[in-house]
């Protein structure tokens, strides 16, 4: 499952799952461009990963086409090609369906789905052009969520955006398949990131999460990164248009499970 020598762009890479994916890629010999709107965190991530391998931070708001074009241009200037794109950048806006503000809804969709569309389109154009010039095809990986299938009432925009992301994965995969460019998604369940910190610190919330998780534990970002490594490798060469859910068994569960103290 060798990835050595490839070039990857990972959005939302300053922390959490995005950072874990970037770290796995760098460890596997991939040259990684870390894209994030948080410059301070992004530069810190770059410094940390440079102790392992080759990593470069580029400040980027994925919801802005010019930012995305600059991201792609800087990556091509530095490394000459893009083999892997991971659309991981995402935000959440909490609020009930009846009270959620329009601008909050727009902001989530701008980053979570429009950002993935822009990155996929512009990087996809590069990948297709490379294939037409005799080069090797690349792959795109979209970071979805189990909330693309199930829903949380207080995260309307997030759930809508992740459902749309699954369809973007399918639709774009059909366009890019004739060129050998693969598009797949990963749908994490409850993963041990900063977002989960508040849940882990609240016993009632933690038990609620565990009651719907048959494997009886929170997932680790590195476990999602392992799937991203597989999907980017030649071992996944005949997989496209799919979303792999890594949720500890939550989606197949109809009821709840007992929670140990």
Q: Which residues are catalytic?
A: 158
| CA distance from start to end of the chain | 39
User: Alpha-carbon distance 154 to 117, whole Å?
Assistant: 25
User: Alpha-carbon distance 169 to 200, whole Å?
Assistant: 31
Dihedral sign, CA of 64, 70, 76, 78?
A: negative
Q: What angle do CA 245, 250, 255 make, to 5 degrees?
A: 150
Partners of residue 72 on adjacent β-strands: none
Contact 157, 258 (CB under 8 A): no
Helix ranges (DSSP H) in the chain: 16-27, 39-49, 65-79, 102-109, 115-132, 156-176, 194-201, 203-211, 221-232
Other C-beta atoms closer than 10 Å to the C-beta of 93 total 19
Other C-beta atoms closer than 10 Å to the C-beta of 37 total 19
Dihedral sign, CA of 111, 57, 186, 94?
A: negative
User: Alpha-carbon distance 210 to 204, whole Å?
Assistant: 10
């Amino acid at each position: 499952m060798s990835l050595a020598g490839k070039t990857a762009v990972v959005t939302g890479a300053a922390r959490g799952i995005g950072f874990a994916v970037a770290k796995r890629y760098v460890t596997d010999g991939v040259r990684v461009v870390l894209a994030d709107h948080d410059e301070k965190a992004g530069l810190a991530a770059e410094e940390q990963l440079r102790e392992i391998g080759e990593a470069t931070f580029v400040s980027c708001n994925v919801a802005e086409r010019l930012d995305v074009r600059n991201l792609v241009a800087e990556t091509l200037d530095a490394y000459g090609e893009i083999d892997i794109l991971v659309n991981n950048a995402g935000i959440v806006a909490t609020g009930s369906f009846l009270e959620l503000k329009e601008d909050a809804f727009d902001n989530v969709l701008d980053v979570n789905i429009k950002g993935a569309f822009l990155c996929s389109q512009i990087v996809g154009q590069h990948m297709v052009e490379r294939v037409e010039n005799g080069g090797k095809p690349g792959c795109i990986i979209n970071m979805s969520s189990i909330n693309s299938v199930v829903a949380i009432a207080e995260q309307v925009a997030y759930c809508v955006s992740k459902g749309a992301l699954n369809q973007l994965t399918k639709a774009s995969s059909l366009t890019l398949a004739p060129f050998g460019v693969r598009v797949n998604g990963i749908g994490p369940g409850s993963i041990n990131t900063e977002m989960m910190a508040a849940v882990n610190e609240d016993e009632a919330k933690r038990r609620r999460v565990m009651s719907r998780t048959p494997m009886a534990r929170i997932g680790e970002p590195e476990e999602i990164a392992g799937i991203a490594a597989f999907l980017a490798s030649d071992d996944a060469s005949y997989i496209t248009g799919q979303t792999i859910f890594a949720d500890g068994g939550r989606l197949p569960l109809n009821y709840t499970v007992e929670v140990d103290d």
